[in-house]
Amino acid sequence: MESAVLPTYARAPLSFERGEGAYLFDEDGRRYLDFGAGIAVCALGHAHPHLVAALTEQGSKLWHNSNVFQIPGQEKLARRLTERCALDAAFFTNSGVEALECAFKIARRYQYEQGRPERYRILTFDGAFHGRTLAGIAAGGQDKLLKGFGPKVDGFDQSPFGDLAAAKAAIGPETAAILVEPIQGEGGIRVADPAFLKGLRALCDEHDLLLMYDEVQCGMGRTGKLFAHEWSGAAPDVMALAKGIGGGFPLGACLAVEKAAKVMTPGTHGTTYGGNPLAMAVGNAVLDVMLADGFLETVERRANHLRQQLSGLVDRHPTILEELRGQGLMLGLKCRVPNGDLVTALREHGMLAIPGGDNVVRLIPPLIINESHIAEALETLDEACRELEG
């Protein structure tokens, strides 16, 4: 084979040697403004000194230990996360899809423990993305991800995103839980209306279903609040986190409210690596920065400024851009040209962005961007759009 790596990605012809804050440097030393952040993962930018210090300090003490022992870093990180939301306990994983797998198992086991084992189905929404395992692609329900990987894992139903009446109608005697992204990422930066989330909360209360949020992409400060659902006032029973939570170290978490957490008794679930001391040192260091005074407020302020600038951009280039979407630093430019063309043009001008569903270009920069990064991004976006107007 041409490459010894499985050909699952259409990769851009570019590789990076190092990163610093909001910038990446390729092997020729060329600098790129990184508005992709490894798909919303490098929330504190590259080589953040506090994270580097935490990683190297823990790296010289203890990397890994089994979950058959106490891991104090887990207690600390779980306490700090659950204190910031209405949830009570956390299970740590290495990825987003594993956090979701834990959520799926909690949903089934919760209903089982209530004496309703027939309730095992999870309602999800059009345009959703819940990872790439067999259950993850069944939950996401997208044909292009499921094709050729049948039979589809049983137990997932889908309903239109944002349509409360349809969700209500889709709940049946076998429904165990509802799973939703407060802001769809891969689906094209689609923000759920707060009234939709509140409505789902009420439906779950009415039928004793678990309301589960996938905040793998939209959580961890990305919207200017630690969790995206805080904007809606509708609290979940279960929440999956990953991406930004480790700032680039592979880490995820599934948080649950006490009544759901307590069904996961010894032996019901496990992981070898999840929550190991190295991951916990980095996760706690990420939170040190995110929870420091003023950090999230600054994210919100920068995001408002960026949004304002981007709506001007959309007005200036009506044949290239259709609309601006999103919240906080999770923004999308819906394009009138193929989104890949804009991503490529940006890259050629030294800026990285990520394509998304619905012909959207995602702008998901590190949360540490400042006004000069925003000005540089706008200049580059203007240049790229002008070029495409050609």
| Burial class of residue 165 in the structure, from the number of CB atoms within 10 Å of its CB (0-12 exposed, 13-18 middle, 19+ buried) | exposed
Say if residues 14 and 8 touch (Cβ distance below 8 Å). Answer: no
Binding mask 229-258 for ligand PLP (x = CB under 6 A): -------------xx---------------
Instruction: State in angstroms the smallest separation of the CB of 65 from ligand PLP.
Output: 23
Q: Which of 346, 349, 342, 310 is nearest to 326 (CA)?
A: 310
Check the annotation: does 215 bind a ligand: yes
**DSSP label of 345:** H
End-to-end CA distance of the chain: 39
Residue of 85, 214, 253, 280 that binds ligand PLP (CB under 6 A): 214
Residue 347 is which amino acid?
R
Q: Is 156 labeled as catalytic in the residue annotation? A: no
Alpha-carbon distance 217 to 94, whole Å?
15
Check the annotation: does 156 bind a ligand: no
Check the annotation: does 132 bind a ligand: yes
Closer residue to ligand PLP, CB minimum distance, 34 or 186: 186
Q: Which residue has the tokens 């499921």?
A: 146
Q: Is 243 labeled as catalytic in the residue annotation? A: yes
Closer residue to ligand PLP, CB minimum distance, 23 or 92: 92
3-state SS, residue 239: strand
Check the annotation: does 272 bind a ligand: yes
Q: Is 105 labeled as catalytic in the residue annotation? A: no
Binding mask 85-104 for ligand PLP (x = CB under 6 A): ----------xxx-------
Residues 6+ apart with CB under 8 A from 355: 339, 340, 343, 361, 362
- Contact segment (CB under 6 A) with ligand PLP among 70-78, 111-119, 179-187, 298-306 equals 179-187
Check the annotation: does 216 bind a ligand: yes
**DSSP label of 52:** H
130 binds ligand PLP (CB under 6 A): yes
- Contact segment (CB under 6 A) with ligand PLP among 18-26, 124-132, 151-159, 279-287 equals 124-132
Determine the size of the site formed for ligand PLP (CB under 6 A). Answer: 14
Which of the residues 92, 129, 161, 295 is marked catalytic? Answer: 129
Segment 28 to 47, residues that bind ligand PLP, using CB under 6 A: none
Check the annotation: does 175 bind a ligand: no
**CA-to-CA dists, residue 349 to 321, 357, 375, angstroms:** 18, 23, 14
Residue 336 is which amino acid?
R
Say if residues 286 and 246 touch (Cβ distance below 8 Å). Answer: yes
Contacts with ligand PLP by CB under 6 A lie at 95-97, 129-131, 181, 185-186, 214, 216-217, 242-243
- Active-site residue numbers? 129, 214, 243
